[in-house]
Amino acid sequence: MGARIVDSSGGLDITVRESPEGSVLHFNGCVDERARFGTVPVPGPNLIFDLGGVALINSLGIRGWVNWMREMRDKSFTFRRCSKAIVDQINVLEGFLPPTSFVESFFVPYHCDACGGGEQILFRHGEEFEKGTADRSGRVSPPTGAECPKCRARMEMDVIESKYFRFIRYRR
Amino acid sequence: MRVKLWGVRGSLPAPLSPENLEARLKDLLQDFFARGHRDASQIDAFLASIPPHRRGGFGGNTACVQVSTDAASLIIDAGSGLRRLGETMMGGPCGLGRGEAHILFTHFHWDHLIGLPFFIPIFVPGNQIHLYSVQPELEAAVKMMFTKPYFPVPFEQLGAKVHFHRLEPRVPAAFGDLTYTPYRLDHPDPCWGFRFEHAGKTFSHCVDTEATRLSPADLGPDLPLYQGVDLMIFDGQYTLLEVTEKINWGHAAAPIGLDLAIREGIKRILFMHHDPAASDDKIADAERQTREYFQAYQESARAAGRPAPSVEWAFAQEGMTVAV
């Protein structure tokens, strides 16, 4: 299945790739006022957003993003490899994710106190976390013994857990 | 240059109801005693420890802002906040029929006009009231307000002499030692912001606006309204989520102002035009959400190697005075 670059507005590149699970959209760059979501083709009912490459998102981009999500309210969304910038907005802005969405995975920054290095570790649904529902509270099970890629010392999560994992709790 | 906020609400005045005021007083009194205080001498320190939204609140009067230097004083808009400003002015030459007032109008929605019939200097013979706008309908709009059955005193019977002045869009105008330039805002009816300059300092008044034009290219000739400003007053009526729901309602959210500030080098922002349906608690919550948004943005920007300048900001309260 081929990939196409559909928007390169100077701040954000979006490539679309068709796959058996649906249309996979890879985002890379900054979601700001330059993002032109309306030009992105979104075929099919199932969309997978790979957001690992989103370095920055601001309110000017959020407005366009939320309006775009609303235009596609008949589709289902899977959010994959959400960067910290995206997770922060999921936590701050209720409504950032459409109701028909599922967060499959997201990155958690880890820091090494020994050498100052660090790494983004991917938390996957069903493994390192499970989202809360009306019947069950959410769960976060960080990997044990995350090692620094540079010096092999043990790394610590570089987030305030109660804030960063807030979106995993059930929201009515 | 000094900027005083006489009214910071939008759309409709929003006084605190008697029951809400009583509930607030009760809450404060309970808090006072719960902290072990017993003496009146402890009141000031106690109140200083209480966040502003639980004390006096953000205010209920609609838009009215005064810009002054030692040599000049201009008023922006005649919302209900103009009434108290007028009372203050009556203590000076206006009270003797030897005063003048200069009011710039951003636009003619009711919340920016309703204070005018209650601006006492306009009734005092001998006073000179100068009204300014870019829009040509200013005289018609004002005369309509002073027309029976909407108001008992017709325009022709006002004591003061009222002068109407038309402003050129995007052309600087001098007033004493102030220079001001109108720039177009994004609102359902024509609305103009003002950039004020004095002694190398700049203040921009950007209310009412939805800020739908955001990129430098889209802003075009109105971009200077935001560039390199020392103080900006910006429309913060809604939260970011509300703004995505209220498209074409004509108002913005604080995070949008912050992102403009980061890009354009604005040093300080005050957000006003608070929604009349928003309680002081709700406005304080919007302020908290804005703080979270800004902190998250700063962290992401630093991680991405992008500029993360600090911007001083607050949600405006009626009665605030800021030196620029």
Q: 């609303």: which residue's tokens?
A: A70
pLDDT higher than threshold 70 for residue B50? yes
Residue B211, pLDDT > 90, answer yes
- Convert the pLDDT of each residue in B98-134 to its tens digit: 999 999 999 999 999 999 999 999 999 999 999 999 9
Q: How many CB pairs under 8 A join A and B?
A: 71
Average pLDDT for B60-64: 98
Q: Determine the pLDDT at residue A92.
A: 84
DSSP lists the bridge partners of residue A136 as: none
Taking CA atoms, B214 is separated from A61, B76, B186, B257, B271, in Å, by: 10, 24, 10, 10, 17
CA closest to B299 among chain A residues: A85
pLDDT at A172 over 60: no
Is B299 in Cβ contact with A55 (below 8 Å)? no
Out of A58, A67, A95, name the one closest to residue B297 (CB).
Answer: A58
Q: Is B64 left (phi over 0), alpha (psi -120 to 50) or beta?
A: beta
CB contact under 8 A, B304 and A59: no
pLDDT tops 60 at residue B158: yes
Chain A contact probe: residue of B209, B213, B239, B241 with most A CBs at under 10 A: B241
User: What residues does A111 pair with on adjacent strands?
Assistant: A118, A156
Indicate whether A65 pLDDT > 60: yes
Q: What are the φ and ψ backbone dihedral angles of B180, each rounded to 5 degrees?
A: -135, 150
Instruction: Name residue B176's amino acid.
Output: G
Helix (H, G, I), strand (E, B) or coil at B77: coil
Verify whether the Cβ–Cβ distance B258 to A30 is below 8 Å.
no
Could you name the CATH architecture of A3-103?
Answer: 2-Layer Sandwich (3.30)
pLDDT tens for each residue of A80-138 = 999 999 999 998 887 888 888 899 999 999 999 999 989 999 999 999 999 887 777 78
Report the residue from B253, B299, B301 with minimal CB separation from A59. B253
User: Which residues is A56 bridged to in the sheet?
Assistant: A30
pLDDT higher than threshold 60 for residue A49: yes
Name the residue among B138, B253, B273, B263 with its Cα closest to residue B205. B273
pLDDT digits (tens, 9 = 90+) for B259-291: 999 999 999 999 999 999 999 999 999 999 999
The CATH 3.60.15.10 domain(s) of chain B lie at 2-13+60-323
User: Rounded to whole angstroms, how far apart are CA atoms B143 and A6?
Assistant: 55
- Among the partner residues B255, B300, B306, nearest to A59 by beta-carbon distance: B255
CB–CB of B212/B235 below 8 Å? no
Contacts of B215 in chain A (CB under 8 A): 33-34
pLDDT on residue A9: 67
Indicate the pLDDT class of residue A8, thresholds 50, 70 and 90: low
Q: Where are the domains of chain A?
A: 3-103, 109-119+128-161+168-172
Nearest chain A residue to B213 by CA distance is A33
Do A27 and A12 contact (CB within 8 A), yes or no?
A: yes
- pLDDT at res. B160: 98
ipTM at complex level = 0.81
Inform me whether the pLDDT recorded for A1 exceeds 70: no
Q: What are phi and psi of B163, to 5 degrees?
A: -115, 140
Nearest CA in chain B to A97: B241
Nearest alpha-carbon partner for A61 in A25, A85, A94, A44:
A85
* One-letter amino acid of B314: A
Determine, for residues B255 and A58 on separate chains, whether the beta-carbon distance falls below 8 Å.
yes
- The arithmetic mean of pLDDT across residues B215-238, rounded, is 96
User: What is the Cα–Cα distance from B306 to A105, expressed in whole angstroms?
Assistant: 25
Average pLDDT of the residues in A158-162:
90
Predicted confidence at residue A2, as pLDDT, reads 59
The predicted pLDDT at position B226 comes to: 97
Partners of B241 on chain A (C-beta within 8 Å) are 66, 93-95
Beta partners for B271? B234, B315
Residue A3 has pLDDT above 90, yes or no: no
Does the structure show a pLDDT above 70 at B85? yes
Confidence of residue A34 (pLDDT cuts 50, 70, 90): confident
Option in A60, A85, A95 nearest B259 (CB):
A60
Weakest mean pLDDT among A33-37, B176-180, B240-244, B313-317: A33-37
Task: Mark out chain A residues that contact chain B at CB-CB < 8 A.
Answer: 30, 32-34, 55-60, 62-63, 66-67, 70, 84-85, 88-89, 91-95, 109
Residue B58 has pLDDT above 80, yes or no: yes
| CATH class of the B2-13+60-323 domain in this structure | alpha beta
Report which of A22, B231, B13, B172 is spatially closest to residue B182, judged by C-alpha positions: B172
Q: Which pLDDT does position A46 carry in this prediction?
A: 92
Residues of A in contact with B293 (CB under 8 A): 59, 89, 92-93
Contact B182, B134 (CB under 8 A): yes
CB A17 within 8 Å of CB A3 = yes
What separation in angstroms does the CA of B224 have from each of B14, B158, B177, B211, B231?
33, 38, 20, 14, 13
Range name among A35-39, B16-20, B152-156 with the lowest pLDDT average: A35-39
Mutation site, B209, B244, B248, interface A, largest A CB count within 10 A: B244
Give the mean model confidence (pLDDT) for residues B136-152. 96
Work out the mean pLDDT of chain B and round it to a whole number. Answer: 96
Q: In this structure, what token pair is assigned to residue A108?
A: 């958690």
Alpha helices in B15-149 (DSSP H): 18-34, 43-48, 82-89, 138-145
Beta strands in B200-255 (DSSP E): 201-206, 231-235
* Closest by CA position to A120, among listed A104, A128, A109: A109
Residues of A in Cβ contact (< 8 Å) with B243: 63
- Reduced to 3 states (helix: H, G, I; strand: E, B; else coil), residue B253 is strand
